[in-house]
Amino acid sequence: MVLGVAGGIAAYKSCELLRRFTESGHDVTVVPTAAALEFVGAPTWAALSGKPVATDVWTQVHEVPHVRIGQSADLVVVAPATADLIAKAAHGMADDLLTNTLLTARCPVVLAPAMHTEMWEHPATRANVATLRERGVLVIEPAEGRLTGADTGKGRLPEPAEIFEVCQEVLSGATTSADLAGRHVLVTAGGTREYLDPVRFLGNRSSGLQGYALARAAAARGAEVTLVAANVALPDPAGVKVVRVETTGELREEVLAAAPSADAVVMAAAPADFRPVDVSGAKIKKSADGSAPELRLTQNPDILHEISTQRVRPGAIIVGFAAETGDDTGTVLELGRAKLARKGCDLLVVNDVGGGAVFGSPDNEAVILGADGSAVDVPRGSKAALARVIWDEVAARLQD
């Protein structure tokens, strides 16, 4: 693969990205621009990649590097991609080795932009990004936060670990093309908390790993992703808008706000089904006589059921999750089918949680039931792998 580096201060972060690529066994050719070398020198790239580094088309001319490097790549990722590099790529300019490589590459291309907010929002950059996306280039949305100097805003390079995950997703298979480009998807993740007092809550064991894997996979397929995360301690996936919530009530508000513009909603979160009737404004104290307070609970709204019955956006695909154990009333699959009908969603991802092995585990296995009668078995594997199959099922049902 090729790691292109354009001339921005975030070039130093790409050293870590390069390390991750080489440590996971990728053969990486680094192609910095001349400006990138002002920030990080060629010896650093050469040492970390174990290969010579060139920026111009005049080095080792007999090997025709300006054509060969792009032609032989399985993936080209440019991080950081500056406004200038994006403009050149959009217009097919080729005045150095990296821009030549972008013109000759026929493999997937991922650009991770980093620049000041004004540059990212400028109509010229917006148009260039739109052109590249139309051509199938995956342009990751920059993160928000501290920029060079004291200012903050949109334009930060996403964390190298998360850019790495996007590239792994893109490399993971031929079906994961940018088939969700132009789509807005909403994913929920994590477990909600229902407070008893300012310090105590009722919660659950959901880690958010499956929801985050879904968000990552959708972003890598070109979707605009909103991730509503309830109490998740994981880094923001690259290019994903993360909205943090705590309670089921807050989760519901954010879902209802985003649903009208969402082509797909995947409810991977575990919202608490019940909340205390009374929430104490002060910390509940132990009583002198040793008696414990009695908790009265009330049922929370079922968000999945609500959005599935309201259908504010016709044609949107709604996906629920079900953790089942099977009991006297039915097998895991029978209970899953009944739940699919009760909830009114289009797809239900049914996990057998009999052994309790799903929570916090990197792995998962499931059956994806469709309201159309379909059933897709997903054998035990990574949560990323299950996420891919879920998006395959969603993509197959989305209308033009």
Verify binding: residue 103, ligand CTP, rule CB under 6 A.
no
Residue from the set 55, 248, 308, 351 that interacts with ligand CTP by CB under 6 A: 248
Our CB check for ligand CTP shows the closer of 264 and 322 to be 322
Verify binding: residue 300, ligand CTP, rule CB under 6 A.
yes
Annotated catalytic, 100?
no
Q: Minimal distance in Å, beta carbon 53 to ligand CTP?
A: 48
Verify binding: residue 321, ligand CTP, rule CB under 6 A.
yes
Q: Minimal distance in Å, beta carbon 76 to ligand CTP?
A: 37
For the chain, the straight-line distance linking the first and the last C-alpha, in angstroms and rounded, comes to 33
Verify binding: residue 320, ligand CTP, rule CB under 6 A.
yes
Verify binding: residue 304, ligand CTP, rule CB under 6 A.
yes
Could you identify the residue written with the tokens 């953790």?
Answer: 323
Rounded to whole angstroms, the Cα distance separating 250 from 230 reads 9
Q: Minimal distance in Å, beta carbon 302 to ligand CTP?
A: 4
Q: What is the 3-state secondary structure (H, E, C) of 228-279?
A: EEECCCCCCCCCEEEEEECCHHHHHHHHHHHHHHCCEEEECCECCCEEECCC
Q: Minimal distance in Å, beta carbon 179 to ligand CTP?
A: 23
Residue from the set 267, 340, 367, 395 that interacts with ligand CTP by CB under 6 A: 267
Size of the site for ligand CTP (CB under 6 A): 13
Q: CA angle, corner 93, sides to 87 and 99, nearest 5?
A: 85
Verify binding: residue 232, ligand CTP, rule CB under 6 A.
no
Site string for ligand CTP, 155-174 (x = CB under 6 A): --------------------
Catalytic residue (one of 128, 204, 231, 351): 204
Q: CA angle, corner 126, sides to 124 and 132, nearest 5?
A: 105
Amino acid symbol at 163: I
Residue from the set 271, 347, 358, 387 that interacts with ligand CTP by CB under 6 A: 271
The interaxial angle of helices 83-91 and 97-104, nearest 10 deg, is: 40
User: Long-range contacts for 90-95 (Cβ within 8 Å, ≥24 apart)?
Assistant: 90/127, 90/128, 90/129, 90/131, 90/132, 91/128, 94/66
Residue from the set 114, 217, 322, 389 that interacts with ligand CTP by CB under 6 A: 322
Q: Is the dihedral of CA 18, 20, 23, 25 positive or negative?
A: negative
Backbone angles phi, psi at 361, to 5 degrees: -85, 145
Residue from the set 40, 215, 269, 332 that interacts with ligand CTP by CB under 6 A: 269
For the record, the structure tokens of 321 come out as 């999750």
Q: Which residues bind ligand CTP (CB under 6 A)?
A: 248, 267, 269, 271, 273, 300, 302-304, 320-323
Active site residues: 204
